[in-house]
Amino acid sequence: MASTTPVDAPPPPSPPTQPLDAKSGSTGRAGDKIFLGLSRGSGILLLVIMASIAAFLAYRASVAISQDEGNFLTTFDWNPAGNPPVFGIAVLLFGTIVSSLIAMVIAVPVAVGIALFISHYAPRRLAAPIAYVVDLLAAVPSIIYGIWGALFLVPYLEGLNLWLDEFFGWTYLFEKTEIGVARSLFTVGILLAIMILPIVTSVSREVFLQVPKINEEAALALGATRWEVIRMAVLPFGRSGVISASMLGLGRALGETMAVATVLSPSFVISLHLLNPGGGTFAQNIAAKFDEANELGRDALIASGLVLFILTLLVNGAARLIIARRKEYSGANA
Amino acid sequence: MAKRIDISGLTAYYGSHKAIEDISMTVEPRSVTAFIGPSGCGKSTFLRTLNRMHEVTPGGRVEGKVLLDDENLYGAQVDPVAVRRTVGMVFQRPNPFPTMSIFDNVAAGLRLNGSFKKSQLPDIVEKSLRGANLWNEVKDRLHKPGSGLSGGQQQRLCIARAIAVEPQVLLMDEPCSALDPISTLAIEDLIGQLKERFTIVIVTHNMQQAARVSDRTAFFNLSAVGQPGRLIEIDETERIFANPSVQATEDYISGRFG
């Protein structure tokens, strides 16, 4: 902080026992070097790991795709052990995106609501326990969610499904054309929504708590009600944080394996009748087939994993673009 | 567009701590009243009771009366939100909404009220920015973010935002303490113009500023740390600075304490 020293101040007395030669403070410098090495090494290691995963996936995937007699992108079938081997990811891509979208549509508004309640509405005595319970939801293993989904959610959702079919069947999405229990993409979406709720909530809550007090007071002093303060000062400030939180949740929803595999009754059909049983996701399909697959089968599953990897990268890239586009309004430069 | 404020027996608390005690005074319309006093004497707290911002702080509560012309701001039927639409406020640190453009910042209060035609909005925004002596500097970048302006410009933007809703009273809580001398001068000139339209109350740590901008000055003090702040005296600014009637005021103004 040399700049704060007045020009005419006397020079600070130098400590007599510390000569200014190169060796003094050498322990500090060794520490610096070690830390620099460690942090740089970790950074490089991360890149190496990412690159080797990508290379591994790409290599095994290329082996599989070259032997695929069907079209890898458009085939509605998964039979790498057949003669000729035929498999494609169309159904998996559709099921993964649709179930994750359902999860997002349900979870994000609820999570933002809970986060706002904890950060701006609840009295402090109530806010901390609620925040704790929400965080606790994240600690439940996904297989437990899967079992709960299969034993509780599936039977109890049948009533909701009938109701949706009756009153919203005209939307096509909620028309149930097949008989069967609710082992559908819709049920999976609801389950995934519950599973991603804690992460979206806690990240959003942290962002909302960081809204500068002076911005909220500015809105209050203009005569804003509590909700108007949230609309004028809190939500715009937290927007990019909520997007990041949603992307974290989406990442989990896209890759969720055990819960989906336990609830869904898989089939290789694409249907926008969300209530019909059937469909599949990348992770669920890999989990279900990996053990019994032959070598080509495993490579084929790895190829589908590569597509999931790319999908996740695309989603993250899109989120960054959305955040960057409004960067000058982000509040970071306030 | 300017009302008289009559305060009687006003006491404010933070939880169980009494911050200011038994303050009574009259603030004249179309004039500038300055609050001065040492740190912790409760002048900012008192200012915030005048638009019911004090009770926003957890534990904050108020006893006593604040009459705006003849209406008690602390009456049982009075909505604090409505009070704040009538009594505007400018804060110590410039606080434009970082996520809004310059135009939207000025329009923010109007959009809350909703009592205007959409086609009038650009005119009101221009008038408010002219009123805050900011129009010429920002007219070519109305749709750029307000946070890109300098500190002094941001503070004038906040003043434009506050006067856009045509309040009866404008409260200013040390509006220049985060600004350089040139920006401070710009705000002080502006206060001189605004007092023709509004009742202005300004808290300041800078006694020269109080002497320059205000018509009347109120001196606050506290007997000891932890004790509530009290109003010592309020009078014409010239009298307060030349010939105050209380010794403590003279001691403070001549720099003997505080």
Interface residue ranges in chain A relative to chain B, Cβ cutoff 8 Å: 212, 214-215, 217-225, 228, 232-233, 236-237, 239, 326, 328-331, 333-334
Give how far the C-alpha of residue A289 lies from the chain's centroid of Cα atoms, to the nearest Å: 24
pLDDT at B216: 96
CA distance to partner chain A, nearest, from residue B78 (Å): 13
Q: Is the pLDDT of residue B83 over 90?
A: yes
- What are the angstrom distances between the C-alpha of A181 and each of A173, A195, A281? 17, 22, 19
The bridge status of strand B199-203 relative to strand B169-173 is parallel
Q: How confident is the model at residue A327 (pLDDT cuts 50, 70, 90)?
A: low
* pLDDT for residue A19: 60
Average pLDDT over residues A54-68: 93
pLDDT, residue B118, reads 82
Per-residue pLDDT tens for B168-210?
999 999 999 988 999 999 999 999 999 999 999 999 999 999 9
DSSP 3-state percent helix, strand, coil across chain B (nearest 5) = 40, 25, 35
- Range with lowest mean pLDDT among A3-12, A43-52, A230-239, B97-106: A3-12
Please give the pLDDT value at position A98.
96
**Is pLDDT of B246 > 80?**
yes
Q: Is the pLDDT of residue A314 over 80?
A: yes
- What is the pLDDT, as a whole number, of residue A138? 87
B229 touches B242 (CB < 8 A)? no
Which band of pLDDT confidence, cut at 50, 70 and 90, is reported for residue B100? very high
Question: Taking CB atoms and an 8 Å limit, are B98 and A218 in contact across chains?
Answer: no
pLDDT the model gives residue A124: 85
pLDDT tens sequence across A114-127: 999 999 999 889 99
Q: For position B2, what pLDDT does the model report?
A: 79
Q: Given B84, B113, B148, which is nearest A221 (Cβ)?
A: B84
Bin B2: left if φ > 0, else alpha if -120 < ψ < 50, else beta: beta
Q: Residues B62, B11: contact at Cβ < 8 Å?
A: yes
- Rounded to 5°, the CA angle A36-A42-A48 comes to 135
Distances (CA, A) of B191 to A101, B175, B197, B206, B209: 54, 10, 10, 15, 11
CA distance to partner chain A, nearest, from residue B188 (Å): 21
Distance CA A31, CA A25 (A): 10
Question: What token pair was written down for A211?
Answer: 């809204």
The helix/strand/coil state of B51 is coil
Strands (E) across B142-239 are located at 169-173, 199-203, 216-222, 229-236
Q: Are the CB atoms for B96 and B105 separated by under 8 Å?
A: yes
Region B47-61 average pLDDT: 93
d(C-alpha B21, C-alpha B3), whole Å: 24
Superfamily (CATH H level) for B5-91+168-253 = P-loop containing nucleotide triphosphate hydrolases (3.40.50.300)
Cis peptide, bond prior to residue B29, ω within 30 of zero: no
In chain B, where the domains are located: 5-91+168-253
- What contacts B238, CB < 8 A, 6 or more positions away? none
- Rounded Cα–Cα distance for residues A176 and A153 (Å): 17
Give the tens place of pLDDT for each residue, A73-108. 998 989 998 889 999 999 999 999 999 999 999 999
Helical ranges in A77-153 per DSSP H = 90-116, 124-137, 142-148
Higher-confidence position of B228 and A177: B228
Lowest mean pLDDT among A7-11, A19-23, A327-331, B48-52: A7-11
Instruction: Look at residue A27 in the predicted model and tell me its pLDDT.
Output: 58
Using alpha carbons only, how large is chain A's radius of gyration in Å?
27
What is the rounded average pLDDT of the residues A21-49?
A: 83
CB atoms within 10 A of CB A152: 10
CB contact under 8 A, A228 and B112: yes
Burial class (CB in 10 A: 0-12, 13-18, 19+), B74: middle
Sign of CA pseudo-dihedral A323, A326, A328, A332:
negative
Q: What was the pLDDT predicted at B36?
A: 95
Residue A83 has a pLDDT of 85
**Cβ B112–A212 below 8 Å, yes or no?**
no
In chain A, the percentage of residues whose pLDDT exceeds 90 is 63
Rounded to a whole number of angstroms, the distance from the CA of B233 to the nearest CA of chain A is: 28
Residue A316 has pLDDT above 90, yes or no: no
pLDDT at A5 over 50: no
Whole-number pLDDT of residue A23: 56
Cβ atoms of B134 and B157 within 8 Å: the answer is: yes
Is the pLDDT reported for residue A333 higher than 50? no
Mutation choice for A interface testing from B95, B106, B115 by most A CBs within 10 A: B95
pLDDT band at A70 (very low <50, low <70, confident <90, very high): confident
Q: What integer pLDDT is reported at residue B115 of this predicted model?
A: 67
pLDDT at A182: 85
pTM: 0.82
> What 8-state DSSP symbol labels residue B37?
-
- Closest to A265 in 3D by CA, of A180, A164, A169, A145: A180
Q: How many CB pairs under 8 A join A and B?
A: 84
Residue labelled with tokens 């900011």: B134
Mean pLDDT over each residue of chain A, to the nearest integer: 88
On whether the CB atoms of residues B128 and B161 are closer than 8 A, the answer is: yes
Radius of gyration from C-alpha coordinates of chain B: 18
Measured CA distances, B94 to A9, A218, B98, B138 (Å): 34, 9, 11, 16
Distance CA A207, CA A115 (A): 9
The reply to whether residue A239 touches residue B99, judged by beta carbons under 8 angstroms, is yes
Overall average pLDDT of the B124-133 stretch = 93
Intra-chain end-to-end CA distance of chain A, in Å: 24
Instruction: Report the C-alpha gap between A263 and A67 in whole angstroms.
Output: 32
Supply the pLDDT for residue A187. Answer: 94
**Is A9's pLDDT higher than 80?**
no
What average pLDDT does this structure show over B63-85?
Answer: 93
CB contact under 8 A, A331 and B85: no
Across chain B, which distance is largest between two alpha carbons, in Å? 57
Of B51, B82, B91, the CB nearest to A218: B91
CA pair distance B90, B64, nearest whole angstrom: 24
Percent of chain A with pLDDT over 70: 89
Given B51, B100, B148, which is nearest A221 (Cβ)? B51
CB contact under 8 A, B97 and A328: no
Q: Which residues in chain A have their CB less than 8 angstroms from residue B158's CB? A: 218
Is residue B4 scored above 80 in pLDDT?
A: yes
- Cβ contacts of A329 on chain B, cutoff 8 Å: 98-101, 145
**H or E stretch at B21:** strand B17-27
Band the pLDDT of A319: cuts 50, 70, 90. confident
Mean pLDDT calculated for residue range A52-66: 93
Cβ neighbours of B56 in A, within 8 Å: 217, 220
CB-CB neighbours of A80 under 10 Å: 25
Q: Give tens-digit pLDDT for A154-205.
A: 999 988 988 998 899 888 888 888 888 889 999 999 999 999 999 999 999 9
Q: Check B93 against A237: CB less than 8 A apart.
A: no
pLDDT digits (tens, 9 = 90+) for B112-126: 877 677 888 999 999
Which run of H or of E encompasses B20? strand B17-27
Rounded to an integer, the average pLDDT of A41-57 is 94
Q: A97-290: which CATH number, 2.60.40.10, 2.30.30.230, 1.10.3720.10, 1.10.40.30?
A: 1.10.3720.10
- pLDDT at position A4: 44
CA distance B18 to B59: 11
Structure tokens at A102: 């359902």
* pLDDT (mean) for A286-306: 93
In the predicted model, what is the mean pLDDT of residues A244-267?
92
A212 contacts in B (CB within 8 Å)? Answer: 95
B5-14/B87-90 β-pairing: unpaired
A325 to chain B, closest Cα gap in Å: 13
